[in-house]
Amino acid sequence: MANESAQLWGGRFTEKTDPLMAVFNRSFPLGKIMYREDLKGTAAYVTALYESGILTAIELDEINRGLRLVLAEWESGTFLEKFEDEDIHTANERRLTEIIGSLGGKVHTGRSRNDQVATDMRLYTLDHLEKMRQLLKFLIQTIIHRARDEIHVLMPGYTHLQRAQPIRWAHLLSSYATQLTDDLQRLEMATDITNRCPLGAGALAGNPFQIDRRALADQLGFAQVIGNSLMATGDRGFITDTLYLGFSISSHLSRMAEDLILYSSAEFAFLKLSEAYSTGSSLMPQKVNPDSLELLRGKCGRIFGNMAGFMMTVKGLPSNYNKDLTEDKRVLFDTLSTVESSLQIATGVVSTLSINKENMKNALSSDMLATDLADYLVLKGVPFRECHHIIGRVVKAADALGYGGIDVLSLEELQNIDPRFVEDVHDVFDFESSVERRSAIGGTAKNSILDQLNLIENKILYM
Reduce the secondary structure of the chain to three states and give it as a string: CCCHHHCCCHHHCCCCCCHHHHHHCCCHHHHHHHHHHHHHHHHHHHHHHHHCCCCCHHHHHHHHHHHHHHHHHHHHCCCCCCCCCCCHHHHHHHHHHHHHHHHHHHHHCCCCHHHHHHHHHHHHHHHHHHHHHHHHHHHHHHHHHHHHHCCCCEEEEEECCEEEEEEEHHHHHHHHHHHHHHHHHHHHHHHHHHCEECCCCCCCCCCCCCCCHHHHHHHHCCCEECCCHHHHHHCCHHHHHHHHHHHHHHHHHHHHHHHHHHHHCCCCCCEECCHHHCECCCCCCCCCECHHHHHHHHHHHHHHHHHHHHHHHHHCCCCCCCHHHHHHHHHHHHHHHHHHHHHHHHHHHHHHCEECHHHHHHCCCHHHHHHHHHHHHHCCCCCHHHHHHHHHHHHHHHHHCCCCCHHHCCHHHHHHHCCCCCHHHHHHCCHHHHHHHCCCCCCCCHHHHHHHHHHHHHHHHCC
CA distances from 441 to 135, 171, 178, 444, 455 (A): 28, 12, 13, 9, 11
Is 373 within 8 Å of 430 (Cβ atoms)?
A: no
User: So which residues are the catalytic ones?
Assistant: 160, 281
